[in-house]
Amino acid sequence: MSDQEAPTYQGAAAALRGAMARFTTGVITLTVGGEHVHGMTANAFSSVSLAPPQILCCVAHSAVMHKAITNERRFAVSIMGAGQEELARYFADKERPLGPSQFAGVDWRPGPYTGAPLLSGALAWLECELADSYDSGDHSIFIGSVLHATRGPARQGLLFFDGAFHAGATAVH
């Protein structure tokens, strides 16, 4: 047995946040169309399965996006490029307008399968239907069945590391 005391809940959460800041992630913007149109920058995102094609994203229970995905049951993912830091920051800003006005001045088109905004200039776009969700702590893990996936031109990706945005490597073919 160690003489050290176990960290408090808040201490453990802060330690986890600090440790996870060292994990480099890509940056996406989740969007929902319809009555609950909304956008949100995220980095808790991953592929889950190729057969059937599925992805996951994690969203805080307190986020507007949580209710939007739960209600609409369809959403889109725009995988952000290195030149889209300003757009990623915009959709991460809790002070931006809500509803349709948050997309004023943003270049986007409605997804043909979901109606969710697909942000112009992204590296790739996915349109998904909610297949399942799991509550875990203060977040839900949303599993999306991919209805459609499209790639844009190969460029550098937008990465998040140690609390800051960075340009990623360009793919070489």
Q: Which tens digits make up the pLDDT trace of 80-98? A: 999 999 999 999 999 999 9
Cβ count within 10 A of residue 156: 15
Query: Max Cα separation, the chain?
Result: 60
In a domain, 22, yes or no: no
What per-residue confidence (pLDDT) applies to 47?
95
Here the CATH number for the domain that contains residue 80 is: 2.30.110.10
In a domain, 43, yes or no: yes
In a domain, 2, yes or no: no
In a domain, 9, yes or no: no
Q: Does the model's pTM come out above 0.85?
A: yes
In a domain, 62, yes or no: yes
Question: H-helix or E-strand containing 69?
Answer: helix 64-72
Encode pLDDT of 117-145 as tens digits: 999 999 999 999 999 999 999 999 999 99
Overall domain count for the chain:
1
Domain that holds residue 132: 28-167
In a domain, 7, yes or no: no
